[in-house]
Amino acid sequence: MKKQAFNPYLPSWEYIPDGEPYVFGDRVYVYGSHDLSNGWVFCLGDYVCWSAPVDDLGNWRYEGVIYPKTSDPLNKDGRMCLYAPDVTVGPDGRYYLYYVLDKVSVVSVAVCDTPAGKYEFYGYVHYPDGTRLGERAGDEPQFDPGVITEGDVTYLYTGFCGRGDRSRSGAQATVLESDMLTVKEAPVIIAPGCMYSAGTGFEGHAFFEAPSIRKIGDTYYFVYSSEVMHELCYATSKKPRDGFKYGGVIVSNGDIGISSYKPAGKVMSNIGNNHGSIVEINGEWYIFYHRQTNGTWFSRQGCAEKIKVMPDGSIPQVEITSCGLNGGPLKGEGEYPAYLACHIFNLSDDRRNAKIVQDGGDGDENEGYIAGIHDGVCAGFRYFDCKGVKRIGVTVRGYCGGEFNVKTAWDGEVLATVRVISANIWQEFTSEIALPDGVNAIYLEYKGGGDPQLKSFTLYN
């Protein structure tokens, strides 16, 4: 039996943000940077890879370390981090990994004969005279490479544009020779940063970072993180380096902009930066993005949602969910871990928020849970196909005295109240519930004292 697919799609103890998904053969591979559960800065780990069968997107396999950060000649001592990478298949059929280290502004390249084998350092992107891209007079710094190869030509997209910095113009597109390293055509700006967006159509959603490129039919889709950081936007063009027009927002990791079930401006989770891209799997399109955990920006986890590419080429913004790659709602029965919460927010005046954490250190395979819960905190899980649910249980620990109110909407009526008391070990508390049949969201709002930790909830038929 195939496994259900969740968000995050990898185990709760794995932290792979900046996901670039690709289908090679009969598997989907995700390449990203590598955060730690207790990270103090971004991207402290080596590059690793995970993959899943295209017809079983809940069954992810760890492919191991594909590239240690000390492999780059500029980083033999490991003092620099590996920032967000991308992969493309070169004219020779080999797989090329493009990346930037965190304290230099040049693009490094590694190569491998297979999608998830051991990549070896190959060289730096450079001009014909040997000067590295990013170091020639007039070059803007390189950052977050995204790549696409067509025939003997590879297009390289890079850039970072912080607010107030007029020295960086926008997203850059560079053409490379068939050797995957030599600049054939120098960079041009294809999407403006916020300091240069006036009158361009990108206002309010100007390029910030995370350039990624895909092609659907004859149209290039440039996916990027905008100036507000929590959203992934897209722009389209019929040409790879010219004519890009702003298209819209694909996803926000706080569901900001979604108005189908709440006010558009209401923030539904802990927001932070975002990075990802789109991919077609078995005829369906998905957006891969990341969320923040552990109360910092430095422990990010990959998530994904199904999207629609409309006949006119537009992509409507999608909700963030707990079911992601599942192809539909989760089964409305059984136990579900709390780390699947796609919404964690406050309904009280206390502005502190809860967070998803794990016990132990990085790499310890301990399932995540929600900590920092207090009066007014609400955790939301979307969606479940329910039939005949008669009882609900919550498993908690910690010093507390209160209740979890169970609802099917963040502002909906209370359908059940589960009373909880202090426990030094994980303990389940249950209550009868009149949960409607059909597709439902589940919201658990805590009311009371103390700070319970939430491990899971269970739907009983």
Diameter over CA atoms, the chain: 74
Q: Strand order of the sheet with strand 170-176?
A: 146-150, 153-158, 170-176, 183-192
Token code pair at residue 6:
């969740």
The whole-number pLDDT of residue 154 equals 98
Residue 224 amino acid letter:
Y
Gap between the Cα atoms of 430 and 411, Å rounded: 22
The whole-number pLDDT of residue 351 equals 73
Q: Identify the three-state secondary structure at position 340.
A: helix
The whole-number pLDDT of residue 352 equals 81
Which residues pair with residue 278 across a beta bridge?
Answer: 287
The residues, any chain, with a CB within 8 Å of residue 182's CB and separated by 6 or more, are 125, 126, 127, 128, 176
pLDDT digits (tens, 9 = 90+) for 139-196: 999 999 999 999 999 999 999 999 999 999 999 999 999 999 999 999 999 999 999 9
- DSSP characters over 286-310: EEEEEEE-TTSSSSEEEEEEEE---
- Could you list the beta-strand ranges (E) of 387-437: 391-407, 416-432
Q: Is 209 a catalytic residue?
A: yes
Taking residue 92's Cβ as centre, other Cβ atoms within 10 Å add up to 11
Residues of the chain with confidence (pLDDT) below 50:
none
Exactly one of 144, 209, 305, 319 is catalytic; name it: 209
Q: Strand order of the sheet with strand 86-89?
A: 86-89, 95-99, 108-112, 120-124
Q: Is 403 a catalytic residue?
A: no
Q: What is the DSSP letter of 322?
A: S
Q: Identify the three-state secondary structure at position 338.
A: helix
The residues, any chain, with a CB within 8 Å of residue 216's CB and separated by 6 or more, are 280, 309, 313
Residue 459 has phi, psi (to 5 degrees) of -100, 125
294 in Cβ contact with 344 (< 8 Å): no
Burial of 429 (0-12, 13-18, 19+ CB in 10 A): middle
Exactly one of 18, 72, 86, 139 is catalytic; name it: 18
Residue 425 amino acid letter:
I
The whole-number pLDDT of residue 94 equals 98
The whole-number pLDDT of residue 353 equals 87
Query: In order of start, what are the domains of the chain with their CATH numbers?
Result: 20-326 (2.115.10.20), 331-460 (2.60.120.260)
The whole-number pLDDT of residue 129 equals 98
